[in-house]
Each structure stands twice: as C-alpha cells, then as structure tokens.
Amino acid sequence: MPIVNLNTFDELGDLANRHEWLLLDFWAPWCAPCKVMNPVLEQFSQLNPETVVVKVDVDQKHDLAAKFGVRAIPTLVLLRRDQFMGQEAGSKSLKDLTDWIEGLKEKVSQLA
C-alpha cells in the first residue's frame, strides 16, 4: 500500500479498522532528519505491504502528536490496529527500522 498522508483523526481509526499494522511517521516539512527518512519509509512500504506507513505532519496535527507524546521528530510509532506497540525517535536506516518493527511484531506473536 502506498504511504498515506493523514488528514483527520477519523482517518486513523478507519485505517486501524482496515489494516492490522500501522507505522506512524511524525514529521515536519522543515525537519532535515525527517527528509532523510522519506526514502527509507518508501522502501520499507514497498517491501512490507502488510504495514501501512502513515505520515503525520506535526505542524498540522499537533493534537495527535501530543496524544502520542511526541517530543522530537522524526518519531515513529507502531500500532497494531489501535493498540500502541512501540515508539522510537530519530532517523533510522532501512535495516534498523525493519529490525525494530520485526522485533515488536515478534513479541506480539510470542504473547499470542
């Protein structure tokens, strides 16, 4: 699935109802490390279609950023449907991003 730009909070609920895994990318247009993450997230999205990448512009959606306790950008939040699974701040390589997400997913599968 292509990367989704979040426009409304309701959209997030709709996505959570339709997809098991959501990766929220809290970013801003003026943030240089956020720009570095763009190609990484594009690659991740292509390689991992089961995880929907959702971009959240903190300048436009500061209420959502506050809800997730975002204090630095870029910040990545992994959700399973509407359940919080993990959060990381800072840019990552594709390998580090994939390893982080797979580690969180593995913990969930061990609990099931």
Active site residues: 31, 34
DSSP 1-32: ---EE---HHHHHHHHHH-SEEEEEEE-TT-H
The residue ranges of DSSP E strands in 39-102, in sequence order, are 51-57, 75-80, 83-89
CB-CB contact of 75 with 87 (8 Å): yes
